[in-house]
């Protein structure tokens, strides 16, 4: 039996998906008829229920992949193939505190919130109010809103947090905001970026090399699916190829920070920022 408040995914015979935080008193209205959530609770994960019109729905416990793909979007989302590598590179896990900027529709925010658990925290900055609101709605729908602090503000004014474990910037000109990173990221901590074009990557690399950053990495991930037919296994005709460039670096430890008279424009103590 499923407990009230747990997130469930209901899949129709045609593959349409519904996500609900289970409330046994709720009645879900679909094109296939009404579905009683009390019946869903009793069926349990892996079970099946019928609407009042006799249409069958399967009951599943949603995975993170399901949640990301179900995000209501008004912006392009980060693909799961990129999200997985970002999470691993940034070391995101239970108890981690991470800053992200560029919430958009909230696909990346959903993944970060999933992994930090109830003991961690995601600080999500988004300058456009409508996107910040949409992101929070998606998080609340998936039961993850309490793990995220949404800040509707331009990051040109810096960040409020200090000593976070990781930073991820999905913004158009991330090099404009690098000067704020030493103020908030733990020494040696990882920072990641997503950029769509090569010329943006070149500008960012120049800025990273001029600042207090090390272990710089650039890559892109390609995803090729195969047709799951045993007698004629072959790649699909289409593939998810270039979705963006991933760039990673680490903030240098204090012992490796440039001297105070360094001309890079970065202040070691983080008291001033020449953006």
Mean pLDDT of 163-169: 98
* Three-state DSSP class for residue 70: helix
CA distance 41 to 255: 56
With bands split at pLDDT 50, 70 and 90, how would you rate the model's confidence at 77? confident
Indicate whether 105 and 19 sit together in one domain: no
- Do residues 41 and 72 share a domain? no
- Residue 227, helix vs strand vs coil: strand
Is the pLDDT reported for residue 131 higher than 70? Answer: yes
pLDDT for res 74? 78
pLDDT 10s digits, 87-116: 999 999 999 999 999 999 999 999 999 999
The verdict on 132 and 245 lying in the same domain is yes
Q: Is the pLDDT of residue 149 over 50?
A: yes
**By the 8 A CB rule, do 29 and 20 touch?**
no
Q: What percentage of the chain reaches a pLDDT higher than 70?
A: 92
Q: What is the pLDDT of residues 238-264, one digit of tens each?
A: 988 899 999 999 999 875 455 555 444
- pLDDT, mean of residues 185-199: 97
Task: Give, to the nearest 10 degrees, the angle between helix 129-141 and helix 107-116.
Answer: 50
Q: Which two tokens stand for residue 93?
A: 């896990």
Cβ burial, residue 93 (10 Å; 0-12/13-18/19+): middle
Give me the pLDDT at residue 264, please.
45
On the 0-12 / 13-18 / 19+ scale of CB atoms within 10 A, 271 is exposed
Any domain includes 101? yes
* Residue 241 confidence (pLDDT): 86
Residue 265 has pLDDT above 50, yes or no: no
Chain-wide mean pLDDT for the chain?
91
Residue 150: which domain range?
Answer: 66-256
Whether residues 208 and 176 share a domain: the answer is yes
Average of per-residue pLDDT across 132-150: 95
Least confident of 75-79, 170-174, 261-265: 261-265
Q: Output the CA torsion sign for 94, 95, 97, 101.
A: positive
Q: Positive or negative, the Cα torsion across 114, 119, 125, 128?
A: positive
Same domain, yes or no: 154 and 172: yes
Task: Assess whether 190 and 228 both reside in one domain.
Answer: yes
CA distance linking residue 180 with residue 183, whole number of Å:
6
Same domain as 82, residue 148: yes
Quick: pLDDT tens for 3-21: 999 999 999 999 999 999 9
Pairing between β-strand 33-36 and β-strand 56-60 as defined by DSSP bridges: unpaired
Average pLDDT on 140-169 reads: 96
The answer on 85 and 35 residing in a single domain is no
Boundary-marking domain end, from 21, 38, 62: 62
> d(Cα 120, Cα 116) in Å, to the nearest integer?
5
Considering only CA atoms, give the Rg of the chain: 22
């Amino acid at each position: 039996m499923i407990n009230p408040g747990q997130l469930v995914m209901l899949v129709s015979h045609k593959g349409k998906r519904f996500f609900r935080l289970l409330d046994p008193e709720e009645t879900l209205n679909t094109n296939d008829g009404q579905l009683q959530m009390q019946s869903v609770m009793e069926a349990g994960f892996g079970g099946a229920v019928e609407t009042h019109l006799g249409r069958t729905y399967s009951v599943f416990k949603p995975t993170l992949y399901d949640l990301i793909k179900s995000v209501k979007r008004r912006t392009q989302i980060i693909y799961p193939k990129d999200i997985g590598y970002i999470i691993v590179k940034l070391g995101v896990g239970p108890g981690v505190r991470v800053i992200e900027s560029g919430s958009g529709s909230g696909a990346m925010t959903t993944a970060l919130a999933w992994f930090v658990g109830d003991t961690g925290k995601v600080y999500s900055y988004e300058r456009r109010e409508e996107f910040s609101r949409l992101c929070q709605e998606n998080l609340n729908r998936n039961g993850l809103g309490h793990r995220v602090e949404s800040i509707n503000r331009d990051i040109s004014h810096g960040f409020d947090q200090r000593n976070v474990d990781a930073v991820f910037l999905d913004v158009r000109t991330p090099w404009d905001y690098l000067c704020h990173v030493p103020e908030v990221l733990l020494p040696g901590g990882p920072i990641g970026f997503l950029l769509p074009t090569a010329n943006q990557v070149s500008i960012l690399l120049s800025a990273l090399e001029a600042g207090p950053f090390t272990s710089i990495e650039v890559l892109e991930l390609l995803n090729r699916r195969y047709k799951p037919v045993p007698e004629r296994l072959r790649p699909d005709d289409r593939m998810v190829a270039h979705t963006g460039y991933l760039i990673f670096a680490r903030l240098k430890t204090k012992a490796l920070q440039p001297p105070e008279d360094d001309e890079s424009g970065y202040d070691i103590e983080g008291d001033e920022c020449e953006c």
